[in-house]
Amino acid sequence: MSITIQSSSFRQFFTQKLLAAAMVSLLTGFIAVAPAYAQEKPMSTTNQQAALPRVLLLATGGTIAGSADNRGSGAYNSGAIGAQQLVSSVAGLGDLASLSAEQIASIGSQDMSDDIWRKLASRIQKAFDQGEADAVVITHGTDTMEETAFFLSLVLKTDKPVVLVGSMRPATALGADGPANIYEAVQVAVDKESKGRGVMVVMNDQIDSARGVTKTHSTSVQTMQSPNLGSEGYVDLGHVRFVKPAAQGQFLKLPEAPLPRVEIIYSHSNMDALQIEHAMADKAKGIVLAGMGDGNTSKAALAALEKAAAQGIVVVRSTRVSKGYVNRNVEVDDSKSGFIASMDLNPQKARVLTQLLIANGVTDPQKVQEAFLNGH
């Protein structure tokens, strides 16, 4: 029997860490590739389920529903495993909640769109308004999970918990993290302390707020972190422990898709005004600067941004740095230029808030700035 070793970093990781375990499996004849969700566990009986909290699971795809054709492979198809299979095959899930599952999309979250956001938001609001569910869990790719979580946190009107969950390894990988993450997401969703906390992300034993969370590592299972705000809590050997009080969010009406065009412009050395001029020519309604440091950029880019703000384009200064606030009027005179400082929000989240504000008719820089300060 021969073992082919591929040269991806994912492959190397598992080769180094887990070769011994894989060898034992292979030598004992376990050569079939069995996804982590394959062993379907029976759900609780109907009587038990009647007393359990009702959780609606909405599946959108991502690695958590990914499948590879061999266990050590770094290559896989996002969204190959359906919502029903995700729910019915995580051991013990049926003892935590009475679950129903629906497929909203089957995508890698790099393809997340305004249409799917609207679909998700409308379905969740309906489920809560019509008393169909006590909590919602959304399975989602990690690439844009923070944007979907933040979007939903702004447009949902509810005190019921909404938990986004993903994984970094596909279901077919050795050490797949999806099943444990789904279990913990449901644990958090049904915990009585979760009420009033809005939209959360649960991954790898950690609970993070929609506002605070961001993807910080391209491959590690400990990727979702809240660099500026810190985590909301932890799932500690079956115990849900919140370490922060619930924060007050803000509500913006769910607009029609597509959302207003808001561009993110990434700042770099030797920066000219071209990208900003293109955004203006493309009729962007807003520009978010992923600035250097405290939201800085070159003189040429700043002059172009001032022109954009003078034309009524909403200009927000955020930062390409992974941690820290962008404050008003430090090296840039925001008051004079009509700019908004993004505070704790990274460029991709600043974009979501700017889109929703513009769609709700809020474009005055002072009002936009107030919204950026609201809820952090």
DSSP state of 255: P
Select which of 60, 139, 142, 354 is catalytic: 142
- Out of 36, 168, 240, 279, the only residue in the binding site for ligand GLU (CB under 6 A) is 168
Instruction: Please confirm, yes or no, whether 363 is among the known catalytic residues.
Output: no
Q: In whole angstroms, how close is the CB of 140 to ligand GLU at the nearest point?
A: 7
| Binding of ligand GLU by 143 (CB under 6 A) | yes
User: Which range in 6-14, 103-111, 178-186, 231-239 contacts ligand GLU by CB under 6 A?
Assistant: 103-111
Enter the tokens of residue 21.
């375990």
Stretch that binds ligand GLU, among 124-132, 136-144, 198-206, 281-289 (CB under 6 A): 136-144
Is residue 374 part of the contact set for ligand GLU (CB under 6 A)?
Answer: no
Q: How far is the CB of 208 from ligand GLU (least distance, A)?
A: 15
Cβ–Cβ < 8 Å for 319, 290: yes
Q: Does 218 contact ligand GLU by CB under 6 A? A: no
**According to CB under 6 A, which one of 44, 85, 98, 109 is a site residue for ligand GLU?**
109
Contact 149, 249 (CB under 8 A): no
Segment near ligand GLU (CB under 6 A); pick from 21-29, 95-103, 104-112, 316-324 = 104-112
Q: Are 369 and 328 in contact (CB under 8 A)?
A: yes
CB of 265 to ligand GLU, least distance (A): 23
Q: In this structure, how many other beta carbons lie within 10 angstroms of the beta carbon of residue 367?
A: 12
Catalytic residue among 63, 214, 297, 319: 63
Q: Which residue is nearest to ligand GLU (CB)?
A: 141
Q: How far apart are CA 21 and CA 42, in angstroms?
A: 28
Q: Which of 74, 141, 233, 286 binds ligand GLU (CB under 6 A)?
A: 141
Q: According to the binding rule CB under 6 A, does residue 63 interact with ligand GLU? A: yes
**Treating both helix axes as pointing N-terminal to C-terminal, what angle do 145-155 and 347-359 enclose, rounded to 10 degrees?**
30
Least separation in angstroms between CB 261 and ligand GLU:
23
Angle separating helix axes 299-310 and 274-281, nearest 10 degrees: 20
Tell the smallest beta-carbon distance from residue 141 to ligand GLU (Å): 2
Which residues are CB-contacts of 53 (< 8 A; sequence separation ≥ 6)? 97, 98, 134, 135, 189, 190
Q: Which stretch binds ligand GLU (CB under 6 A): 41-49, 119-127, 140-148, 197-205?
A: 140-148
The answer to whether 154 and 352 have CB atoms below 8 angstroms apart is yes
Task: Examine the residue annotation and report whether 63 is marked as an active-site residue of this protein.
Answer: yes
Does residue 220 bind ligand GLU (CB under 6 A)?
no
Q: Which two tokens stand for residue 68?
A: 């590879």
Does 146 bind ligand GLU (CB under 6 A)? Our answer is no
Contact flag: residue 248 with ligand GLU (CB under 6 A) = no
Residue 260 binds ligand GLU, judged by CB under 6 A: no
Q: Among 128, 295, 152, 139, which residue's Cα sits nearest to residue 211? A: 152
Spatial separation of the C-alpha atoms in residues 32 and 45, rounded to whole Å: 32
Tell how strand 239-242 and strand 262-266 pair up.
unpaired
Which part of the chain contacts ligand GLU (CB under 6 A), choosing from 107-115, 292-300, 302-310, 326-334? 107-115
- Nearest in space to 188 (alpha carbons), one of 222, 238, 226, 141: 238
Does position 78 bind ligand GLU by CB under 6 A? yes
Distance CA 32, CA 329 (A): 61
Angle (CA) 112 115 118, round 5°? 105
Task: Determine the size of the site formed for ligand GLU (CB under 6 A).
Answer: 11
Q: Binding ligand GLU by CB under 6 A: which of 44, 89, 142, 194?
A: 142
C-alpha distances (whole Å) from 86 to each of 35, 115, 317 are: 11, 24, 40
Which residues are the active-site residues?
Answer: 63, 142
**Binding region for ligand GLU (CB under 6 A):** 62-63, 78, 108-110, 141-143, 166, 168
